[in-house]
Amino acid sequence: MSVSCEGRTVAVRASKVRAMLATLALEPGHVVSHVELADELWAGHPVGNPRNALQAHATRVRKVLGQPAGDATILRAVPNGYLLNVSRDRVDGNRFLDHAVRGADALPGAPELALRHLESALALWRGPALLDAGDGLRCRSAGALFEERRLTVWEDLASARLIVGDESRAIAELRQLAAQYPLRERFCELLMLALYRTGRQSDALELFRLTQRRLDEELGIQPAAPLQRRHAEILAHDPSLGHPSALWGHRERGRDGLPTG
């Protein structure tokens, strides 16, 4: 974890300082209570005097943020907790989410704009989200949600590349993603479409067979309906596969019937 302030970037090395700063940064401008902070920093292993301990860590956070002694402009102590007094767009996580939403919204009608937002979102990624922010429930839950959103951004980015006709780059990226996340069916579905559009029907069908076998061997399930439909469309040389609508017509609902993105 690092903090950028006035042109300088400072690595946050102390684990409890990282945890406190990350917890506050998840809700900039909002008070996080002493109790909530203590639960996050000590995760079921309470200390004797948590308020004093939090005060000591707050002093270290202010030092990392470059606040002069006695200055509470950025990190403010309030009667029942602490508040990180920055706008939400000063936090990379929020900037990532904003770009992700704008990219997804622009995808159907403005794919070039979607590409810019989605690439900007992924450019903010420095590694697993909140990996070094401790074992607290808030940061662990937020990290999992950020990771899921990152994968959705990759799906949207691949869709945008296919809409604008950049199949070769989409294939290169999707091959890596499908290898890293072989059970994520949306990556397989998009890669199958990209291969088919470049005249590689047999490769697309072989990819389906490999994914089907892996799902059966590792999870004991068959591919979900969207992936099976894509397979059937490729077998039938369905003309709709060449239209932009092929990229979002199958993603409204997942295996459990809930919206997928």
User: For the chain, give me the number of helices (H) and strands (E)?
Assistant: 10, 5
What band does 240 get if pLDDT is binned at 50, 70 and 90? Answer: very high
Q: What is the pLDDT of residue 64?
A: 82
Give me the chain's average pLDDT, please: 87
pLDDT computed for residue 251 by the predictor? 47
The confidence score (pLDDT) of residue 184 equals 95
Taking 70 as the threshold, does the pLDDT of residue 247 lie above it?
A: yes
- HSE at residue 177, side-chain half, CA atoms within 13 A, is 24
Instruction: Summarize pLDDT for 144-185 with one digit per residue, the tens.
Output: 999 999 999 999 999 999 999 999 999 999 999 999 999 999
Instruction: Give the confidence band of 8 by pLDDT, cuts at 50, 70, 90.
Output: low
* CA geometry: angle 81, 87, 88, nearest 5 deg: 90
Q: Which residue did the predictor score with more confidence, 155 or 64?
A: 155
What mean pLDDT do residues 180-196 have? Answer: 96
pTM: 0.86
**What is the average pLDDT across 239-243?**
91
Span of 71-75, 111-115, 132-136 with lowest mean pLDDT:
71-75
Residue 127 corresponds to which amino acid? G
The reported pLDDT for the residue numbered 219 is 94
pLDDT of residue 6: 58
Rounded to an integer, the average pLDDT of 221-250 is 90
Over residues 104-112, the mean pLDDT reads 94
| Edge-to-edge strands, sheet with 75-78 | 31-33, 81-84, 75-78
One-character DSSP codes across 55-82 = HHHHHHHHHHTTPPTT--SSEEEETTEE
SS (H, E, C) 35-57: HHHHHHHHCCCCCCCHHHHHHHH
User: Across 16-25, 68-77, 163-172, which has the greatest mean pLDDT?
Assistant: 163-172
- pLDDT of 258: 33
pLDDT in tens, 197-210: 999 999 999 999 99
- pLDDT higher than threshold 80 for residue 46: no
- Whether the pLDDT of residue 70 is over 70: the answer is no
Rounded Cα distance, 183 and 4, in Å: 37
Q: How big, in percent rounded to 5, are the helix, strand and coil portions of the chain?
A: 60, 10, 30
On the question of pLDDT at 225 being above 60, the answer is yes
Instruction: Quote the pLDDT of residue 254.
Output: 38
The 8-class DSSP code of residue 222 comes to P
pLDDT at 52 over 70: yes
On the question of pLDDT at 23 being above 60, the answer is: yes
